[in-house]
A and B are shown apart, each in its own frame.
Chain A
Amino acid sequence: MRRDDGVGPAVAEAVRDRLPAGVRVVTLDGEPTRIVETWAGADLAVVVDAVRTGAPPGTLHRWDGASLGALAPPTHPGSSHGLGLREALALGRALDRLPDRLVVLAVEGADFGPGDRPSGAVVAAIPAAAAAVAAEFADAPS
């Protein structure tokens, strides 16, 4: 319903059948307690979402959890629930529910207005993002 914000679920669908056995694909709405519960006990968690950093639309970003943890807490909670991924990280740390390893793959979005599908550059980035997710798990020690 928020165009480019739908890239996470789109990538999840694209990669669903290409992951090793034992990997769960979960679509979440960004509410931190759900994120934290989903992470609990995982060896590796790959979060896929849309971001806005000023890069060209469709750019694929990759951060690992350690670098995200070093970021200062945001002064403007940006999600519709007043809490976001960084709060989920902090909450997960406080409640011992972080995965052993966390990777965030994010696709640069531009259009977050009402609409039921992402814009062109973001749609074009979905196959590469799905491949990147699959590669994270292919590289992971079994």
Chain B
Amino acid sequence: MTPERWREVRQIVHEASELGDARSAFVEARCGVDDTLRQDVERLLTALEQAGDFLEPPARGEEPGAGSRIGPYVIVHESARGGMGVVYQAARCDDYSQRVAIKLVKLEIETESLTRRFREERQALAMLSHPHIARLLDGGTTNDQRPYLVMEWVEGRVVTDYCAEEHLSLRPRLEIFLGICDAVAHAHRNLVVHRDLKPSNILITADGSPKLLDFGIAKILSPGGVASQQTMLAGHARALTPDYASPEQVRGEAVTTATDIYSLGAVLYELMCGSRAHRLATRTAPEIERVVCEQPVSKPSRETGVEGLPADELAGDLDNIILKALEKDPLCRYRTVEEFAGDIRSFLAGRPVSARPHSFWYTASKFLQRNKLAAAAGAVVVASLAAGALLALWQAGIAQAERRIAERRFELARNVAGPVLFEIHDAISNLAGTTKARELLLSRSVQYLDALSAESGSSAALQRDLAAGYERIAELEGSSGLSNLGRREDARAHLNKALALREHALALDPGSAQAARDLAQTHRAIAGLGGGEEALRRGEASLAIINRLLERGPQSKELLSDRAKSEFYVGRGYAGLKRWGDAAVHYRNALAADEASGTGDVALYRRSLGSVLIQADDLEGALQEYQKAASLDEQHVRANPSNGRAKLDLSYDYSDWALILGRLKRPAGAAAHYGRVVAIREEMRAADRRDARAANGLVSGLWRLGNALADSGDRSGSEAAFQRAVGAGESAAAAFPGLGAQALADACWAYASAYREKWADCTKAKPWLLRTRALRLQLKGDLGEVDEAIAACGGH
């Protein structure tokens, strides 16, 4: 065999090994007429199945034993061993009396995605606080990178054993089950699905109350976040038992709250009749699929085998309730755990249950059973009471329906505010001409986010989504980016909401680097809004967070890129305070950090450095930075001709480049560069009439062009440019009363200054001065220089 042939065989085997039934067809297709290849492949596939533990390294004799440490815990003893790892009883090193359960994941499980899933889920799980749920306390990775979970230690007996050993009758069994339902309902309200409900995960403590273990753990431990068919059936990592698994789990489909309802039904089935709902002859994949997905579940009353629980107690309502929970189709089951529990409560109270089609006589017969006295009092009374009962039932039905609608709306809103918003925004944000569409998206999303915040309760995952949602909204409103809608104060308010959510998330999980990075990013977003000292403080806050992370851990590209961004915002903060020297230092830091990460926006950092060098009068240095920035941005524009942001950036480069040339007394060069600025911004303005930056940028490009042409001696060209600037300014002010009016005022002031200073014509300057004054008055701007100029031109 040649190395090339081996690679071919290996590749086919690798791909085939991930297939189920389709494997042989796949091998046929890949090998075609090459019989030798097919034989080699089949031989290796056979060996793959037989190889088992062959050559597998044993646990290194370092499975922690009693006394060894895992994080801040010390192991007391091993408590259980399963497919996914080992469970220990442990104690906190600093408080030996506090016992915990530590689940240490097997070495061979691919830990990277596991750790990520764990981080994602941990906050949601940590928020579950219910007397019947064993709390997830902590988690982390050991020195050899094995993830572990720390849970409340629960001393108790498995629910099925407990009921059998204590010879419990029907009512106490159902009461225990109602406690279990309470816990699951609480988790569902917090958007956590258990996924692996089974008797061994339900312990009864010394006081007789249930305690549910391993909430949400199945999601963390199953590859891809869902229990795929492979993981369940192929024995690859047998995380779930098929005895209580729902049809959708067996088929590897999406897991929802309905999945837990099914498993609850299977647990109740066993509690009621002592046998399992699934009758599996063998544990092979086809048998599991046949029994779970196709075979009807027989009535518990027919299977009864529990002493003291006769079949006639189960027949009727309880059969109906259990079989409704065990419907193959999730949509036919109870919609919520509350509804399931409600039926059991109804059964215990002798009221009608919903798990049976309502007929008047069914309801009435229940009513009569409960109200024997009323029945004796006469038909009229009975009829009126029955009507009252029906009304109450009907109202209860409405309440259920409303709650279901509310729950659906909540999920929908979460989706819209999260993924949908992000996806649509990303898809259209760089396309010119979409401002109106984005504005609509924005107002709807704000409504959703505010409504969700009010209902978010204690879900950390939701808080994260909400924070990200608010940040996106703020971005659209004008904190950064090209085509913003010019609503800076709204953006600030939304970013402050995001900041509070981020701070809360970090407080919940102070060790999470992701939560810290998220918080730093929100600080930067606020810094991006400007605002003097406040912006600088935010930049510094971000930098401090990132520097702490860099001290603590490896110098990852992402963190170095975060450092570059933070340095940039600190620099920008100083620039906002006109502390040019400090600003240049931090911009240079940003460039240095960016060199190390190679991922950031070099052109932006160079452009910004150039701008403070202009202020610091280092014109040659500034020119160099702008030339580099412009050449980078020219590449961007060439590569992405429809990217509005790249174009705007390039126009800024040209504009400042021109400014420097002007200061260097090269007005013709300056005018040429302003000409380019105007061309780009006119194109952008035409592409999207609702883009405030394009509108204002065009005004400023035009009056600057006017200045440069005046300096180069082209008065008629200059006046034409000023006239166009005023025209564009009027159009901008009409569209954007704040920023647009500001741009118009600047244009008028520039035109007036040209008349006064360049062409010594006070008469012609005056109307423009007065117009500037009126606009600045309206904008509550500084009138000092305007009034001085008006005075110099002979007063009003």
Same complex for A and B? Answer no
Residues of chain B having any CB pair with chain A under 8 Å? none
Residues of chain A having any CB pair with chain B under 8 Å? none
